[in-house]
Amino acid sequence: MFQPVYIETHNKGLLKKKAEHARKLLGSCVLCPRRCMVDRLSGKTGVCKTGARAMVSSYNAHFGEESPLVGRNGSGTIFFTHCNLLCVFCQNFDISHEGLGEEVSDQQLAGIMLALQKSGCHNINFVTPSHVVPQILSALEIAVEKGLCIPLVFNTSSYDRVEILKILDGVIDIYMPDFKFWDPEIAAKACNAKEYPAFARKALAEMFRQVGDLVVDEDGIAHRGLIVRHLVMPRGHAGTREVMRFIAGNISKNTYVNIMFQYRPCGNANQFMEFSSRPSDRDFEEAVKVAKEEGITRIDKPKRVFMAL
């Protein structure tokens, strides 16, 4: 019978140690590559505008996620407010940039996890979690004691430090990172993070080391492994061929990849020529073709319609 990896970690007393270690990092925050060095425990904030407590904008059973996560009952998504990457075209601009959401205590966050499990969700899907890893770990410790026992999904932009991901080894069952851009100059324009591609490559390698290729049960529901998202951008600005070549050559040809066709110019995208239009049907078809040419063998069923939250 499947058991999430965090159960054993908790039983060994390691989850508490991980939570305590991560929380100390908030005192001079270096959770993400921005390395703001602010004391979030005292209420100060850096790029992510988040202090000692996590903020949540919404949570629900989500049916617009990848097929192995959704199943019949949906993926239990928890959308965290704010973000450490802040793409100018973010489709959740009101959440990531404008701060729509409310602060939650660790106990409240644990309660949200348990409510989603009780509703029948197949997993707990942490959306934009990189800046709230300590809060997630503290809440998880509470939730496990109260019966949480479904897989955890770390749904991230990949703007993550390997050192922090290593804290999550033995905690996260399914990693679902984006690989947004291959070109550092595009990353600089999109999110003021020229170093994003380098961090993303290292992050994907560490995630794969921890969980390997995606494993599903007899019903096709994911239990463990890596799912990589890649958003098709206008004018080829995502660098699809290079991204797929990296995944096939440096991660695994058996990586489960979702090539996404939902880009639209949201937020401040219209201020930048590179991001001001939608990709065409031909752009999407070419992206899928490129992925196959580069050796990717597992591609999520295409979803061509933008799924509003």
Q: What pLDDT is recorded for position 185?
A: 98
pLDDT at 201 over 80: yes
**C-alpha closest to that of 245 among 179, 307, 171, 164:** 179
Are 81 and 101 in contact, with CB atoms under 8 Å apart? yes
Q: What pLDDT is recorded for position 305?
A: 42
Are 136 and 148 in contact, with CB atoms under 8 Å apart? no
pLDDT at 144 over 80: yes
Q: What pLDDT is recorded for position 243?
A: 98
Are 59 and 121 in contact, with CB atoms under 8 Å apart? no
Tokens of 206: 């560490």
Q: What is the mean pLDDT of residues 299-304?
A: 70
Are 115 and 76 in contact, with CB atoms under 8 Å apart? no
Read off the pLDDT band of 301 (50, 70, 90): confident
* CB neighbour class for 266 (10 Å; exposed up to 12, middle 13-18, buried from 19): middle
Q: What is the mean pLDDT of residues 9-32?
A: 98
Q: What pLDDT is recorded for position 1?
A: 78
Read off the pLDDT band of 307 (50, 70, 90): very low
Q: What does pLDDT average to over the chain?
A: 96
State pLDDT tens for residues 183-194: 999 999 999 999
Q: What pLDDT is recorded for position 302?
A: 61
Cα–Cα distance, 212 to 215 (Å, whole number): 8
State pLDDT tens for residues 247-257: 999 999 999 99
Q: What pLDDT is recorded for position 105?
A: 98
Bridge partner residues of 175 (DSSP): 154, 226
> Which domains are assigned to the chain?
5-27+53-299 (3.20.20.70)
Tokens of 61: 């059973």
Question: Positive or negative CA dihedral for 301, 290, 242, 91?
Answer: negative
CA angle 36, 41, 45 (to 5 degrees): 40
